[in-house]
């Protein structure tokens, strides 16, 4: 059973995506900069619609576009946003935080994982900005920290399919200890190819199902 995660910028396409059979929604705002924290109103509307239909909703926690190195003020905002997303009923939170040296910001990520509690914690494509030689250790640390899932395209540019070898290595290393979610250029049109080439049980995208109004 392959799980499809629909990346939604707002509520607009949520009903159609659910009708088309998606199993989970990653809810964001401002996808033009890679996604930021959605408003409380959008979170609540989406959760109220999705949950009775058996669809999970995870909420992006990101104060701005750009780098994944955050100031103390931004971190405070993210902590408040994370707690509010859980309070709103999100099934998990999605985040990615790095140090200026390009490593995972461990103490801050540990705090976000703790806030997620029994719900899902997802480290997003900030992981792809970590140097390739440091990624195995970073993945091991996320597993040890109790992170639920890693969203990755396998590289800083290009598509998940172009980086399938890298993603498959991450999947093999993680084993059953952590979910690996490939995303980046995966659509309903190439999903069969992705399923054949990438050894994942779930895939992520804004066009993971054939929405009427998105081309």
In this prediction, residues 72-91 reach a mean pLDDT of 98
In this prediction, residues 95-112 reach a mean pLDDT of 98
pLDDT, tens digit (0-9, with 9 covering 90-100), for 5-27: 999 999 999 999 999 999 999 99
Give me the helix-helix angle, 106-116 and 72-88, nearest 10°.
Answer: 20
What's the whole-number average pLDDT of the chain? 97
Domain ranges of the chain: 3-205
Determine the pLDDT at residue 214.
Answer: 54
The whole-angstrom distance between residue 192's C-alpha and the CA centroid of its chain comes to 21
Where does the pLDDT of residue 215 fall: very low under 50, low under 70, confident under 90, or very high at 90 and above? very low
CATH number of 3-205: 3.20.20.380
Asked whether residue 37 carries a pLDDT value surpassing 60, the answer given is yes
pLDDT, tens digit (0-9, with 9 covering 90-100), for 171-211: 999 999 999 999 999 999 999 999 999 999 999 999 999 99
pLDDT, tens digit (0-9, with 9 covering 90-100), for 43-67: 999 999 999 999 999 999 999 999 9
SS3 content of the chain, % helix, strand, coil (to 5): 40, 20, 40
Residues near 91 by Cβ (< 8 Å), separated by ≥ 6? 24, 56, 57, 58, 119, 120
Q: Give the alpha-carbon dihedral of 158, 159, 161, 167, to 10 degrees.
A: 90
8 Å CB contact between 160 and 183: yes
Cα–Cα distance measured from residue 132 to residue 115, given in angstroms and rounded to the nearest whole number: 29
Cα–Cα distance measured from residue 180 to residue 167, given in angstroms and rounded to the nearest whole number: 8
pLDDT, tens digit (0-9, with 9 covering 90-100), for 116-133: 999 999 999 999 999 999
Determine the pLDDT at residue 67.
Answer: 97
In this prediction, residues 93-118 reach a mean pLDDT of 98
Determine the pLDDT at residue 187.
Answer: 98
């Amino acid at each position: 059973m392959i799980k499809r995660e629909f990346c939604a910028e707002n509520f607009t396409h949520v009903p159609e995506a659910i009708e088309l059979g998606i199993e989970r929604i990653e809810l964001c705002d401002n996808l033009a900069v890679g996604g930021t924290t959605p408003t409380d109103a959008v979170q609540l509307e989406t959760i109220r619609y999705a949950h009775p239909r058996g669809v999970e909703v995870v909420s992006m926690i990101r104060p701005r576009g750009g780098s994944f190195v955050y100031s103390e003020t931004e971190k405070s905002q993210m902590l408040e946003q994370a707690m509010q997303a859980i309070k709103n009923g999100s099934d998990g939170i999605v985040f990615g935080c790095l140090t200026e040296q390009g490593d995972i910001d461990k103490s801050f990520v540990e705090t976000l994982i703790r806030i997620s509690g029994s719900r899902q914690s997802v480290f997003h494509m900030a992981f792809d900005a970590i140097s390739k030689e440091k990624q195995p250790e970073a993945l091991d640390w996320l597993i040890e920290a109790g992170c639920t899932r890693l969203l990755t395209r396998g590289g800083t540019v290009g598509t998940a399919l172009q980086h399938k070898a890298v993603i498959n290595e991450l999947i093999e290393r993680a084993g059953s200890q952590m979910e690996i979610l490939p995303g980046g250029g995966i659509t309903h049109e190439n999903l069969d190819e992705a399923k054949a080439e990438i050894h994942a049980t779930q895939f992520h995208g804004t066009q993971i199902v054939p929405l009427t109004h998105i081309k």
